[in-house]
Amino acid sequence: MKATQKLHELGQSVWLDNITRDLLTSGTLKRYIADFSLTGLTSNPTIFDHAIKNSSHYDSAIRSKLSEGKSGEPLFFELALEDLSQAADLFRPIWDRTNGVDGWVSLEVSPLLAHDTASTIAAAKELHAQANRPNLFIKIPGTQEGLPAIEESVFAGVPVNVTLLFSREHYLAASEAYLRGIERRIAAGLNPNIGSVASVFVSRWDAAIANDVPAQLRNQLGIAIAKRTYKAACELLSSARSRRIYNKGGRPQRLLWASTGTKDPAASDVLYVKALAAPLTVNTMPEGTVKALADHGEIGEMLPSDGGDSEEVLSQFAKGGVDIEALAATLQDEGAKSFVNSWNELMSVISAKTEVLKKAS
């Protein structure tokens, strides 16, 4: 049995952190679903930037949209929604079979809106309506300005993938926003069954301090943060507040491990996957990590619901001068800026391709 299938059977969803038009048209994604027990997919501006910049697979679609007078951001979202709608349809049988627990794909609102609450809410509603797929998450960053947008979007019935979370505190703030949205739906007599995941980024912690800690602490910070967050999630999901919501027909907001590709070439290529196996969670992996897991990965012990040795490990980093809270804020800010840079690069790529295709027509 492949390790990807074993993870699936242990209760953790394996999602692909990638999408390209070629993955869809070549039948590769369909094959991955069958071969690697994939049950979902995520995207972000960086993924689309690379996909459009490094291939000609989008050229005919861009040319067609240019003839309709479209350009820039609206043109991109049409391209993205074409890809994600096709992917959503591939995962739809899983969504139906699991009653909406699994089988999701994700599309991010413009990163330029990360600190604009009102525009994020409007974009989330518009993109979800435009996609017209029940198994499409709209990704909203868990920034301070994003939190009220998460609550309002959930209240409006939009399934949300909360992104750019780095710490236990980030996770709890995002979960609070989700719960408020659901509780408001219950109070308004609306169906509280609105799906959501909370995406906690893991490997960026280790990349950030790789040169500042002794060898024995390398590649341990991200996993310790994840364990601490998992403990908080287990407590929240079994709390009286959550149980009241379940009793009204709501569902748990699942914890999702993001940024789980190994950055350190000296470390195992399935380091974070092996360490973060846990039921009722999602691990969204780069394509290479999924293949490595299926090829030679092994699944170790499941994550301890009490956080295991996380506090002990984190205290070692604190003694070494790592300010966890400050670093979490920095990572979230840098993550938001990185997506903005990718977005601007993406818009430049589309603009450049537009000019080339116009001249060629």
pLDDT interval class at 361 (50, 70, 90): low
Using a 10 angstrom Cβ sphere, with 0-12 exposed, 13-18 middle and 19 or more buried, the burial of residue 272 is buried
Place of tokens 């950030």: 208
Contact call for residues 58 and 79 (beta carbons, < 8 A):
yes
Region 314-333 average pLDDT: 96
Instruction: Provide the whole-model pTM.
Output: 0.96
Half-sphere exposure at residue 95, Cβ-oriented, CA atoms within 13 angstroms = 18
| Tens digits of residue pLDDT in 136-175 | 999 999 999 999 999 999 999 999 999 999 999 999 999 9
Please state, for a pLDDT cut of 90, what percent of the chain lies above it.
86
- Amino acid identity at 178: Y
- Out of 62-76, 122-136, 162-176, 313-327, which region has the weakest mean confidence (pLDDT)? 62-76
- CA of residue 179 relative to chain centroid, distance: 19
Residue 49 pLDDT greater than 80, yes or no: yes
C-alpha distance from residue 102 to each of 6, 14, 78, 95, 99 (Å): 16, 10, 24, 5, 8
C-alpha distance from residue 150 to each of 154, 261, 267, 288, 338 (Å): 6, 27, 36, 31, 21
pLDDT interval class at 10 (50, 70, 90): very high
Mean pLDDT over each residue of the chain, to the nearest integer: 95
Joined together, the tokens standing for residue 26 give 């070549």
CATH number of the domain to which 157 belongs: 3.20.20.70
Joined together, the tokens standing for residue 42 give 């995520």
Region 302-329 average pLDDT: 96
Residue 330 pLDDT greater than 90, yes or no: yes
Using a 10 angstrom Cβ sphere, with 0-12 exposed, 13-18 middle and 19 or more buried, the burial of residue 147 is buried
125 in catalytic set = no
Contact call for residues 91 and 123 (beta carbons, < 8 A):
no
Q: What is the pLDDT at residue 54?
A: 83
Its domain, for residue 263, covers 3-360
Region 189-212 average pLDDT: 96
Among the listed residues 53, 65, 125, 139, the single catalytic one is: 139
pLDDT interval class at 300 (50, 70, 90): confident
Place of tokens 């692909």: 16
Q: What is the pLDDT at residue 197?
A: 98
- Out of 51-55, 79-83, 237-241, which region has the weakest mean confidence (pLDDT)? 51-55
Residue (of 229, 246, 237, 241) closest to 308 by Cα position: 229
pLDDT interval class at 77 (50, 70, 90): very high
Q: Is 181 helix (H, G, I), strand (E, B) or coil?
A: helix
pLDDT interval class at 219 (50, 70, 90): very high
What's the structural domain count of the chain? 1
